[in-house]
Structure 1
């Protein structure tokens, strides 16, 4: 399966405006992403959305804290 990530409900996109998906390997999805300067020090909601043809869609959220 694959995972898409959202920050405060906004899907993360690459520099070309395409949605970012990462593959799940051994049950883990890893994304390296640089948060732009448009985000100030605050608590944001980071959401992972799992999609797969075999399994049901799964969603999980947690707080992402940015310190400045």
Structure 2
């Protein structure tokens, strides 16, 4: 119930400033051939990140599964990857890969890399 033996304790106020680490996202250049499957990857500078999702785009077109649904990849330990099958009709050349991250509180980050589609060898 308390005691009259103890004096009231006080301390001075101290202001604490916490600066959060700025989150960054990177993705890697890839070389592949039309009709083959490759892995699109994105990495964050925080390997403890386990929230949010990433969609990948190739030349501005969102990567979808075989049923035409957008592939949303969940971030696990600061990384994400998606299997992507290049269309047979994709011409040789360079394409832009864009990884778009959306956090649970709607923050967005993007990173770009190059997808080089190599000419298929005709055996």
Give 2:73's aligned residue.
Answer: 22
Q: TM-score, normalised by structure 1?
A: 0.91
Tell me which of the two structures has the higher relative contact order, counting C-alpha pairs closer than 8 angstroms and 6 or more residues apart: 1
Give 2:110's aligned residue.
Answer: 59
The runs of at least 4 aligned residues of structure 1 exceeding 4 Å deviation read none
2:89 to 19, 27, 38: 38
Post-superposition offset of 1:55: 6.1
SS at structure 2 position matched to 1:31? strand
1:7 to 45, 58, 73: 58
Larger radius of gyration: 2
Post-superposition offset of 1:32: 1.2
1:47 to 85, 98, 102: 98
Q: TM-score, normalised by structure 2?
A: 0.52
Computed over aligned residues only, the root mean square deviation of the Cα atoms, in angstroms, reads 1.2
Q: What count of residue pairs does the alignment treat as equivalent? A: 68
Q: Which runs of 5+ in 2 are unaligned?
A: 1-51
